Amino acid sequence: MKNILVALSLFVGMFVHADEGMWFLMFLDRLNQRDMEKMGLQLTSEEIYSINNSSLKDAIVQFNGGCTAELVSSEGLVLTNHHCGYSAIAELSTPENDYLTNGFWAANKQEEMKPNSLFVRFFVRMDDVSKRILDKVNDDMSEEERNTTIEEEIKKIQEENSEGGKYVVSVRSFFQGNEYYYFVYQDYTDVRLVGTPPASVGKFGGDTDNWEWPRHTGDFSMFRVYADADGNPAEYSTSNVPLKPKHHLPVNIKGIEKDDFAMILGYPGRTNRWLPAGGIDQNVKFAYPAWVKASKKAMDVMEKYMDKDDAVRLNYASKYAGVANYWKNRQGMIDALTKFQTAASKAKNEKKFDKWANKKKNEAYVDVIKDINDYYALTNDKARHDNYLRMVFRGSKYATLSRGLGRVLSKYADDESMIDKAESAVKDFLMTSDLNLEKEMLSEMLSLYTEKADYALPQSLDYYSNTLNMPLKEYLDNVYELSIFTSKERMEAFLRIPSKELLQNDPIMLLSDLLIAHYFSSDSKIEEAEEKFDRAYRLLVDGMRKSGLSPVIYPDANSTLRLTYGKVSPLPEDKRNDAKENYYTTLKGTVAKYQPGDDEFDLPQGLIDLYESKDFGPYADDDGYMPVNFLTNNDITGGNSGSPVLNGKGELIGLAFDGNIEAMAGDVIFDNKLQKTINVDIRYVLFLIDKYAGAKHIVEEMTVIK
């Protein structure tokens, strides 16, 4: 209890503007409840988070490990973003039944489709174990000893709370290792596609509109969670039944107004609000530029082949979308962090920290800033190199083959009873990969890497380029000619006659191993600096909290459930938006962007017909327009995609799906004036399901507040 009170005092001691912060549910009553009530909340903290009774948290799930989703019916119906369901929809699509392009709505539960791998994670409870863990360590330990001790205690906590494997237990570090909490989850793996709008609606605006406002995107898709007859998680079976959730969200279609209360529950992936100035500088000048250049190269290669073949387009659609999203994000981060001089601002605050640390009573913090800056100075060039190489791995399946298909075939070569797994792995690789694309991807990404990384190269590339003076293209042409993995026939021949020796000497396997080993390699200077850095970063955060110098008082996002609250909130007037006020968009604006046949701005004729006839059903605003997207000032980041936007009664009014380019630095610093969350209006979602798709039975399954 003492430890919790200390943590709360550190939180409360320097409260921030209401729309900033990603808050733990277990502390809402003490930290946020009164503030939220003043803004319009009508629920108690117990109605939001309860261990023993149903509450809002029981309707919120992590979707497939990377997004958020919510239960919207008593029959396990799940709502999330279109881009969150993108990979599952693409997997289920074929050139003959292209659900990704044309959309899909199951007429009944029997038509709902199960992707190969998809799960949702329910949050059960959390608790503070900071004292238990930190009592096991002391200042005399090295960082390695400290981490080993902490990991041992974490394993015990996870085992104690898993109830024999019933639950997934995760112990997470917060405030850079100064606090620890455990989270208990339950996973359901039988999750089936119920419906999706066509890509021309769900991805309307494409890369051009990504991170931009005004937006006109119907970014949603729907799934259903299935369980066994007792409501427990179960592997896919036709005998499974729709899950009866403890709570599902009612859907409110009364509409929104400026300054309405809005809160979002979800799983924000990663923020770096505590990042030192040196880390920001390293990202802006070394890491992110490499990411941007390499991402664009990978996109160009994929696009070349995707444009020629529908099957390739479907196989690589999700990967392309992910790379494109980060390409624009990282460039936006560079621009925003540079414009707002965020590193310089942080550096000024760190000078104040140094003065505070140099007081006699703060001797433990004296060298903190020096050790941090020394580390970044030593690793700047490596950060650029690592991001170029990281994008080789993200772009090329061949670059990581030794950890994927190659590993499966290695096990098969040792144990031929694994023939079924080996055949399945080869089949999956061939079905989801275009070998010509993969060869060109590896060639182009390695060419960029060797040209731009300006750092020590992996031994094999260095040997061929510098010792043999062989052009990279010639070297890779030899690799492709000799590897079994560049030929369907050679892979199938290996399945018939497996050879460990052949695999060990396969040139792509060897190259993949060397690339991965090189990425994780280090030297004694960096390891020594990293040891000091880890300790210094932990002490910086600890000292910033104790000194009151940090403007941030909440922990960084790390894919754990958080609540953020604020209001429906406009940006300054934008002439591109036809709406009366710049906090919402309309179907009129969508149709105004329409470009027939364009990859990003095409629209289905049925939607245009509904607009022209003004056939909006009960989903139109009182002023007669069909709402599409709206803005709030909630604090979110990647991972919040698909998160429910809720009114003061806990009713669903929209889905969060994006941020705005004006505040692209939001993962590092929150801008109270410009940072917004872009949301799909729930009325547009229901309009598309009911009036456009004709799937009224899905709407009738929900609890709709009119």
What digits encode the pLDDT tens for the residues 272-287?
999 999 999 999 999 9
Last residue of a domain, which of 334, 364, 388? 388
Q: Which of 520, 554, 573 is the last residue of a domain?
A: 520
The catalytic residue among 58, 128, 190, 219 is 219
379 in a structural domain: yes
Residue 83 among the catalytic residues:
yes
Residues in CB range of 109: below 8 A, 6 or more apart: 224, 242
Among 251, 267, 285, residue at a domain's last position = 251
Per-residue confidence at 6, pLDDT binned at 50, 70, 90? very low
What are the beta bridge partners of residue 49? Answer: none
pLDDT at 363: 84
For residue 553, tell me if it sits in a domain. Answer: no
CA distance 478 to 480: 5
Can you list the alpha helix ranges (DSSP code H) found in 340-367? 342-357
Whether 18 shows a pLDDT value over 80: the answer reads no
Are 133 and 237 in the same domain?
Answer: yes
The length of the chain, given as a count of residues: 706
Spatial distance between the Cα atoms of 327 and 210, rounded to a whole number of angstroms: 11
436 and 340 share a domain?
Answer: no
Give 640: exposed, middle or buried? Use CB within 10 Å, 0-12, 13-18, 19+.
Answer: buried
Q: Give yes or no: residues 463 and 351 share one domain.
A: no
Q: Are residues 457 and 373 in the same domain?
A: no
Average pLDDT over residues 326-333: 91
pLDDT at 434 over 80: yes
Q: Which of 83, 247, 385, 518 is catalytic?
A: 83
pLDDT digits (tens, 9 = 90+) for 163-192: 999 999 999 999 999 999 999 999 999 999
Q: Which residues pair with 62 in a beta bridge?
A: 68, 121
Tell me the pairing of strands 704-705 and 251-252: parallel
Does residue 459 have a pLDDT over 90?
no
**Is there a single domain that holds both residue 476 and residue 512?**
yes
Asked whether residue 190 falls in the same domain as residue 220, the answer is: yes
Could you report the per-residue pLDDT of 236-253, keeping only the tens digit for each? 999 999 999 999 999 999
**pLDDT range class, residue 671, cuts 50, 70, 90:** confident
Q: Are residues 20 and 59 in the same domain?
A: yes
Do 283 and 305 belong to one domain? yes
The pLDDT of residue 3 is 44
Q: Is the peptide bond before 214 cis (omega within 30 degrees of 0)?
A: yes
Sequence-distant contacts of 299-303: CB under 8 A, at least 24 apart: 299/323, 299/324, 299/327, 300/444, 301/395, 301/437, 301/440, 301/441, 301/444, 301/445, 302/437, 302/441
363 CB-contact burial (10 Å; exposed 0-12 / middle 13-18 / buried 19+): exposed
Confidence band, pLDDT 50/70/90 cuts, at residue 458: confident
Q: What is the share, in percent, of the chain residues with pLDDT greater than 90?
A: 88
Query: How would residue 383 be classed by pLDDT, with cut points 50, 70 and 90?
Result: very high
Give me the pLDDT at residue 14, please. Answer: 38
Instruction: Give the residue carrying structure tokens 């993949």.
Output: 512
Residues above pLDDT 70, as percent of the chain: 96
Number of domains in the chain: 4
Is residue 268 one of the residues assigned to a domain? no
Same domain assignment for residues 137 and 59: yes
Q: What is the mean pLDDT of residues 529-548?
A: 96
E strand intervals along 152-266: 168-174, 179-188, 191-196, 221-227, 241-242, 251-252, 261-266
Residue 554 domain-assigned (yes or no): no
> What average pLDDT score do residues 677-701 get?
98
Q: Which residues pair with 70 in a beta bridge?
A: 60, 79
Count of C-beta atoms within a 10 Å radius of residue 332: 22
Which is the catalytic residue, given 621, 641, 658, 690? 641
Closest CA to 676 of 660, 699, 664: 660
On whether both 219 and 316 belong to a single domain, the answer is: no
CATH number for the domain spanning 667: value is 2.40.10
Same domain, 88 and 219: yes
Please provide the distance, in angstroms rounded to a whole number, between the alpha carbons at the two ends of the chain.
Answer: 44
Beta carbons of 640 and 268 less than 8 angstroms apart: yes
pLDDT at 466: 63
pLDDT at residue 312 tops 90: yes
Examine the residue annotation and report whether 641 is marked as an active-site residue of this protein.
yes
Residue 441: closest CA among 476, 409, 471: 476
Q: How confident is the model at residue 17 (pLDDT cuts 50, 70, 90)?
A: very low
Same domain for 402 and 326, yes or no, is: no
Per-residue pLDDT of 498-512, as tens digits, reads 999 999 999 999 999
Q: What is the mean pLDDT of residues 545-565?
A: 94
Averaged pLDDT score across all residues of the chain? 94
Residue 695 belongs to some domain of the structure: no
Q: Look up the domain containing 644 and give its range.
A: 565-689+701-705
Which residues fall within 8 angstroms of residue 203, CB to CB, at 6 or more apart? 82, 83, 217, 219, 321, 600
Is 443 noted as a catalytic residue in this protein?
no
Average pLDDT over residues 334-348: 94
Say how far apart CA 395 and CA 445 lie, in whole Å.
7
Domain presence at residue 364? yes
Contact indicator for 157, 182 with CB cutoff of 8 Å: yes
535 located within any domain:
no
> Would 265 be classed as within a structural domain?
no
